[in-house]
Amino acid sequence: MTTIRDASSRHGQAPSGPRTTTFRRPWFRWLLTAAAFPPAGYVAHIVAGRVEAVPPALLAGMIAGGGIGAAQWALLRHRGIGPAWIPATAIGLAGGVAAGAALVSYRTDISSLALMGAVSGLGIGIAQAPLLRSPVSRALGWALATAGLWALGWTITTAAGIDVDEQWVVFGSSGCLAITLIQSTFIDAVVPARADEP
């Protein structure tokens, strides 16, 4: 008796069935958070001045982080993230930028700003991670991704010719758009949407 096999098996293909994919559609609403960076950074610059010492770095980080955190929470609250996200972001940026700027001796060349950005982003990511409704591995991934993205944000802004010698606490519009676009592609994996999300 002849055994009949599935055609896909005879051709070396996997049997048909439900397929899963790791591709996720970007959450384009997340791009709205990019609009918070410039005004938050500007207000911080007016109030605290240049990031040229620890005290102004801490103050500027608190102000800018609060503004950015509020914009992010405005979207994430529909996904079960509490308002503690705002002070966590403020504290994370304050500590991160104070440590990062001091680490590079407040220099503003592209490599120094990239390193400062990485430390700043890591501070934010570590502060935000405990608030995520995700496994530890994903929360850790969020912290590391935020560090890398903030380094990228400063690199893009510096390369775009923004006057970084003013020692801003956050990068410019080009960097903001780039990092929020990248974040929009994986934030669903870190903070899943809820059924009741508008």
Does any domain span residue 107? Answer: yes
Contact 153, 117 (CB under 8 A): yes
> Could you list the residue range(s) of the whole structural domain that residue 156 is in?
26-184
Confidence (pLDDT) at 4: 45
User: Per-residue pLDDT for 110 more than 90?
Assistant: yes
pLDDT digits (tens, 9 = 90+) for 166-196: 999 999 999 999 999 999 999 988 888 876 6
User: How far is it, in rounded angstroms, from Cα 119 to Cα 183?
Assistant: 18
Instruction: Compute the mean pLDDT over every residue in the chain, rounded to the nearest whole number.
Output: 88
Span 117-164, pLDDT tens digits: 999 999 999 999 999 977 888 889 999 999 999 999 999 999 998 899
Q: Given this model, what pLDDT does residue 136 score?
A: 86
The count of domains in the chain is 1
Residue 17 pLDDT > 80, yes or no?
Answer: no
Residue 197 confidence (pLDDT): 61
Two structure tokens written together for 135: 């496994």
Residue 161 lies in a domain: yes
Does 194 fall in a domain? Answer: no
- The fraction of the chain above a pLDDT of 90, given in percent, is 75
What does the pLDDT average to over 95-106? 98
Between CA 87 and CA 134 the distance in angstroms is: 20
Question: Quick one: average pLDDT of 4-29?
Answer: 55
* Residue 15 is assigned to a structural domain of this protein: no
- The sign of the CA dihedral 8, 9, 12, 18 is positive
Rounded Cα–Cα distance for residues 86 and 102 (Å):
24
What confidence tens digit (pLDDT) does each residue in 39-48 have?
999 999 999 9
Q: Is the pLDDT of residue 11 over 50?
A: no
| Token duo for residue 186 | 């994986």
Q: Residue 133's pLDDT is what? A: 75
Chain centroid, CA 187 distance in Å: 9
Mean pLDDT over residues 67-71, rounded? 98
Residue 26 Ramachandran class (φ > 0 left, ψ -120 to 50 alpha, else beta): beta
Domain presence at residue 10: no
Does residue 79 form part of some domain? Answer: yes
Asked if the structure places residue 170 within a domain, the reply is: yes
The answer to whether position 20 is within a domain reads: no
What is the 3-class SS of the chain, one letter each residue?
CCCCCCHHHHCCCCCCCCCCCCCCCCCHHHHHHHHHHHHHHHHHHHHHCCCCCHHHHHHHHHHHHHHHHHHHHHHHHHHCCCCCHHHHHHHHHHHHHHHHHHHCCCCCCHHHHHHHHHHHHHHHHHHHHHHCCCCHHHHHHHHHHHHHHHHHHHHHHHHCCCCHHHCCCCCCHHHHHHHHHHHHCCHHHHCCCCCCCC
